[in-house]
Amino acid sequence: MNILIINSGSSSIKFQLIQMPSETLVCSGLVERIGNKDAVLNYKNETIKLKQIHYINNHKQGLQIIIDLLLDAENGVIEDIKEIAAVGHRVVHGGNTFSNTALVTPEVKQKIQQYAPLAPLHNPSNLEGIEIAEEYFPHAKQIAVFDTAFHQTIPTKARKYAIPNDLYEDKDIQVYGFHGTSHKYVSEKAIEYLKLERSKIISIHLGNGCSMTAIQDGKSIDHSMGFAPTNGLIMGSRSGDIDHSVIFYLVNSLGYSLENVNNLLTKKSGMLGLTGYNDLRDIEKEAEKGNIDCLLALEMNAYRIKKFIGTYVAAMNGLDAIIFTAGIGENSSLIRELVCKDMDFFGIELDKDKNNGKAKSIREISTSTAEARILIIPTNEELEIAKQAYCLLN
Ligand code: ADP
């Protein structure tokens, strides 16, 4: 069964065609800068890798270009659109309605729309992706996989904010949690690898967005992001945790509008705000040259992660393993080293040689005597979506 995975963002569409149940990646690609004259399409399959520049006005045109390529006589991978049996969609916010993957129905779409104010940058584009796919693939099953679903197991004591009860009960203000597809995927891999029946795992997803999850016996029990994907760790351009008094001070004393504050905390803060660079590779290069801002930002970033590790060890009363995943987690030996430094109290001891090596699959980088294991596990949100879609249909 061919499943097309679509991750539709505000100005991009990521896609993969995966054959299930063999989990074979047939092709993958990304359309970026939708709405621009120089939108970029990157595409690869087993034999070719190509990059094209198009004028792509909107998501509908973007998806049409992807379909044309899938069907292309020279570079395509299918002969008929009907060869795609299902389309799996990443949906960021499923509120407290979805604890599982869902077959798209008018009611499901209505709920995704309803939760749009909670994820204004993501849910509207996710829904648009679904509606365009319904039009282009009328024969295929449409399936929604929610980033928030994995976190529905977080107990009330960790889910509720200490604000009046009616805001939780009537207005649904609470911790939802994000990157659930990634945390689920890597923690299941870890449990399988470690052969554990009972487990206490901390999953650390460090990409452009960064989050951590405490996972006990395979279930999310606490998470660093909350109501929206903004708090917790220091991210590429998001501040993560900040005293909310700062927001009032910015508005009431410094004359910021609420929109400016939002822009400041989500687009101009984090590593970008601290260093002037968004990409961790640039920050590491600058730090090597002695750039003090970059050195401090790396320390701050790792320090915040350490604090969350401490919190989650306390929440689970123990620790079997920590997992590093996503762009930074999988690739930055420096961040891993800074995070694991002076953490032997928790049984975390890094083997520096193993940390500096390279591998595509699961890699264990703890010392042979460490009580808690340190794993690098490449995330694969698209494959997880395909697995869940396949599972739902079979
Ligand atoms: P997204 O959240 O967009 O999926 P990714 O998981 O692709 O993000 O991660 C993007 C981040 O990974 C960027 O900040 C980039 O700097 C970082 N990154 C990628 N490769 C490396 C590397 N070799 N060393 C350090 N950081 C890296």
Shared domain check, 256 and 142 = no
162 located within any domain: no
Q: How far apart are CA 117 and CA 170, in angstroms?
A: 16
Buried b (16+ CB within 10 A) or exposed e, 283-316: bbebbeeebeebbebbeebbebbbebbeebbebb
| Ligand 1: nearest atom to the Cα of 208 | 2
Q: Ligand 1 atom closest to Cα of 209? A: 2
Question: Could you identify the atom of ligand 1 that is nearest to the CA of residue 335?
Answer: 25
Nearest 10 degrees: CA dihedral of 108, 110, 114, 115?
Answer: 30
What is the average pLDDT value for the chain, to the nearest integer?
Answer: 95
- Report the separation in Å between the CA atom of 238 and the middle of ligand 1, taken as the mean of its atom positions: 15
Torsion of CA 368, 374, 380, 383, to 10 degrees: 60
Together in a domain, 28 and 138:
yes
Within this chain, do residues 231 and 131 fall inside the same structural domain, yes or no?
no
Give yes or no: residues 47 and 140 share one domain: yes
* 365-378 confidence digits (pLDDT tens): 999 999 999 999 99
Of the residues 90, 116, 146, which one is the last residue of a structural domain? 146
Report if residue 46 sits inside a domain. yes
Token readout for 121 is 């940058």
Pocket test for ligand 1, best of 90, 281, 330, 338 (most atoms within 8 A of CB): 281
281 CA from centroid of ligand 1 (Å): 8
Q: Give the separation between CA 263 and CA 258, rounded to whole angstroms.
A: 9
Residues within 6 Å of ligand 1 by CB: 207-209, 236, 279-281, 326-328, 331-332
Q: How far is the CA of 287 from the centre of ligand 1 (A)?
A: 17
Q: Does position 247 have pLDDT exceeding 90, yes or no?
A: yes
Please list, in sequence order, all residues whose beta carbon lies within 8 angstroms of the beta carbon of residue 103, skipping any fewer than 6 positions away: 141, 142, 143, 144, 392
> Is 172 part of the annotated catalytic residue set?
no
Nearest to 240 by CA among 209, 202, 276: 209
Q: Counting atoms of ligand 1 from 1, which one is nearest the CA of 279?
A: 16
The pLDDT of residue 235 is above 90: yes
User: Under DSSP, is residue 323 helix (H, G, I), strand (E, B) or coil?
Assistant: strand
Give the pLDDT band of residue 311 (cuts 50, 70, 90): very high
Q: What's the Cα-to-Cα distance from 14 to each of 27, 30, 59, 248, 384, rounded to whole Å?
A: 11, 4, 11, 37, 15
Q: Please, what is the Cα angle at 94 between 90 and 106, to 5 degrees?
A: 85
Q: Can you give the C-alpha Rg of the chain in angstroms?
A: 21
Give the end of a domain, one of 118, 146, 174: 146
Q: What angle do CA 8, 11, 14 make, to 5 degrees?
A: 40
Coil/strand/helix, residue 17: strand
Do 11 and 129 lie in a common domain?
A: yes
Cα of first residue to Cα of last residue in the chain, in angstroms, is: 11
pLDDT above 90 (res 36): no
Chain position carrying tokens 């930002």: 297
* 33 compared with 184, residue with greater pLDDT: 184
Does some domain include residue 186?
no
Answer yes or no: do 206 and 87 share one domain.
no
Residue 76 to residue 64: CA distance in whole angstroms: 13
Taking the C-alpha atoms of residue 67 and residue 303, their distance in angstroms, rounded to an integer, is 45
Q: Whose CA is nearest to atom 7 of ligand 1?
A: 327
Residue 318 lies in a domain: yes
Domain contains 42: yes
What's 218's domain CATH number? 3.30.420.40
Q: Using most ligand atoms within 8 A of CB, pick from 279, 323, 384 the residue to mutate for ligand 1.
A: 279
Q: Is 178 a member of any domain?
A: no
Each as own residue / partner, the long-range contacts of residues 76-83 (CB below 8 Å, 24 or more positions apart, any chain) are 77/17, 77/26, 77/27, 77/45, 78/2, 78/17, 81/136, 81/137, 81/139, 82/139, 83/2
63 alpha carbon – ligand 1 mean position (Å): 25
pLDDT tens-digit readout, 104-149: 999 999 999 999 988 888 899 999 999 999 999 999 999 999 999 9
Tell the residue nearest (CA) to atom 21 of ligand 1. 331
How much is the pLDDT for 48? 94
Whether 179 maps to a domain, the answer reads: no
Candidates 38, 68, 80, 147; catalytic one: 147
196-220 confidence digits (pLDDT tens) = 999 999 999 999 899 999 999 999 9
Strands 200-206 and 49-54, bridge-based pairing = unpaired
Closest atom of ligand 1 to 326 CA is 6
> Are both 230 and 325 inside the same structural domain?
yes
State the pLDDT confidence band at 320, using cuts at 50, 70 and 90. Answer: very high
Are 142 and 200 members of one domain?
Answer: no
- Are residues 349 and 205 part of one domain? yes
Q: Which residue range is the domain that position 131 belongs to?
A: 2-146
Q: Are residues 101 and 208 in the same domain?
A: no
Question: What gap in Å lies between CA 33 and CA 42, rounded to an integer?
Answer: 12
Pick the closest to residue 343 from 298, 317, 374, 316 (CA basis).
374
Structural domain total, the chain: 2
In the reported structure, the alpha carbon of residue 197 is separated from the centroid of ligand 1 by a whole-number distance in angstroms of 32
Q: Which residue stretches of 195-344 are H helix?
A: 245-252, 258-267, 270-275, 280-288, 292-316, 326-331, 333-340
Return the DSSP state at 366. B
Residues 350 and 222 in one domain: yes
- Residue 373: phi, psi to the nearest 5? -90, 150
Q: Does one domain contain both 117 and 234?
A: no
The pTM of this model reads 0.93
Q: How far away, in angstroms, is 207 Cα from ligand 1 center?
A: 5
Residue with tokens 């909107």: 58
Please count the helices (runs of H) and the strands (runs of E) in the chain: 15, 14
117 lies in some domain:
yes
